[in-house]
Amino acid sequence: MTDGLIKIMGGICRALLTILGGIAGYQLSAMVVSLLSQRIDVDRFWIQAFLNGGSVLIFSGIGFLIAPLFFRVLGFMSSLFEKNLQTTKWQDITAATTGLFVGLLLANLMAMPFAGLPLGPYVAFFLNLVIGYVLARLFVNRQEDIRGFFASFMTLRQRLLFRKNRGESGKDDFSLAVPAKILDTSVVIDGRILDVVHAGFLEGVVVLPRFVLSELQSVADSKDPGRRARGRRGLDVVKALQGAPSLNLVITEVGLKELDVDLVDSGLIALARRIGGKILTTDYNLNKVAEIQEIVVLNVNDLANSMKPAYLPGENVIVDVIREGKEPQQGIGYLDSGTMLVVEDGEAYIGRRVEVVVTSMLQTSAGRMIFGRVRREVFS
């Protein structure tokens, strides 16, 4: 705050306190005159004027003199309040304010039966103080649970929309009991989700958030040819999913601001938590972050890996060694399913076809790797 603005605020504060002091002095003198009139004769005009004028001047002076101290105390409290707010999340402030409002409303309702009693104002003050503080703390500490509770009501409209769309399409709405699947950008651009749908392994309600569709559009408008091609392929996949008879694709209008997040991945997690849905993705990092936050993730890579042929230790496979591996003397080959095969002592067989004995496998969300050793060279 600039010095000029501080001086202006200080002047306004001093003027207000001076006026308030004068008003308080006049009310006090009126009270004194009323009490004295019952005992002595103070009805004369000059006595009332003297008492009123003197009281107004005295209390106005007091207000004028204490204004700088009051303004300093107010500035100190404001600075302290602002300093604490810098380390406080906006969600906590909102939760505390909501809890305080609910607490004050509940306290005043509870205090209504005591309004006619002599101690009624004190009871109301005590209830407001205690219940307001308790509910403010409760809302801050349990804000996630409270938001989840209210989210069930907020998603009622969305569920009714799902049911309406399902009814208009002539399909039964039994699948609404199944959690909705939420598409992310990576799984749409990947395109394999369309094959899964056509194979009949995915049905029911599939949600495409508007912010994911916007991200697809921005990728499709990219100046980079590769990104532009991937974005356009993603938009084609969305169009094909809309025409798939086995599922109901719903484009939800929930935005990132409404979810109190800034990133698309965070928005997907928040939306999944809000509607109790599952995230469809091929993004390894999103997969891990969502699992940490206890959100169910359906990774298409995991599905693809699970559908690849299983090889047990001791089985023989034939592979072409095409390049060297990361470790010394290793060779790398790929099976027909696309699975990488790491061949021990296979560097000497680069460019040749060999029969490999499987020794072990490594399964991750990023893919499957098979390790083996050369049994013999295959001549064809």
> Residue 152's pLDDT band (boundaries 50, 70, 90)?
low
User: What is the distance between the alpha carbons of residues 181 and 251, in angstroms, rounded to a whole number?
Assistant: 12
Taking residues 313-329, report their average pLDDT: 89
Listed in sequence order, the residues at least 6 apart from 321 whose beta carbon sits closer than 8 Å to its beta carbon are: 331, 332, 333, 343, 346, 349, 350, 351, 352, 353, 354
Task: Check residues 184 and 5 and name the one with the higher pLDDT.
Answer: 184
Q: Where are the alpha helices (DSSP H) in 169-220?
A: 185-190, 192-198, 210-220
Q: pLDDT tens across 218-243, in order?
A: 888 888 888 889 889 989 998 988 88
Q: What is the pLDDT of residue 20?
A: 85
> Phi and psi at residue 249, in whole multiples of 5°?
-85, 120
pTM for the model: 0.45
Mean pLDDT score of the chain, rounded to an integer? 80
Query: Which pLDDT band holds residue 111 (cuts at 50, 70, 90)?
Result: confident
3-state secondary structure of 116: coil
Q: How many CA atoms lie within 13 A of 101 on its CB side?
A: 6
pLDDT interval class at 3 (50, 70, 90)? low
**At 174, is the pLDDT very low, low, confident or very high (cuts 50, 70, 90)?**
very low
User: How much is the pLDDT for 343?
Assistant: 92
Higher pLDDT residue, 365 or 212?
212
Give the range among 83-87, 89-93, 159-163, 334-338 with minimum mean pLDDT: 159-163
Paired sense of beta strands 204-209 and 367-377, if any:
unpaired
Instruction: Report the C-alpha gap between 198 and 245 in whole angstroms.
Output: 9
pLDDT band at residue 371 using 50, 70 and 90 as cut-offs: very high
Q: Which CATH class is domain 156-305?
A: alpha beta
Cβ contacts of 248 within 8 Å, gap of 6 or more: 162, 165, 166, 169, 171, 175, 204, 205, 206
Residue for token pair 């599939």: 206
Has residue 214 got a pLDDT over 50?
yes
Mean pLDDT of 65-87: 77
Q: CB–CB of 185/287 below 8 Å? A: no
What was the pLDDT predicted at 160? 54
At residue 123, the 3 state secondary structure works out as helix
Tokens linked to 265: 């991945």
Q: pLDDT tens-digit profile of 10-20?
A: 788 788 888 88
| Alpha-carbon torsion, ordered 66, 67, 69, 71, to 10 deg | 160
Q: Kindly report, residue by residue over 333-364, the tens digit of the pLDDT.
A: 988 777 889 999 888 899 999 999 999 888 76
Domain residue spans in the chain? Answer: 1-87, 89-150, 156-305, 308-377
The CATH number corresponding to 308-377 among 1.10.150.120, 2.40.50.140, 3.40.470.10, 3.30.70.2860 equals 2.40.50.140
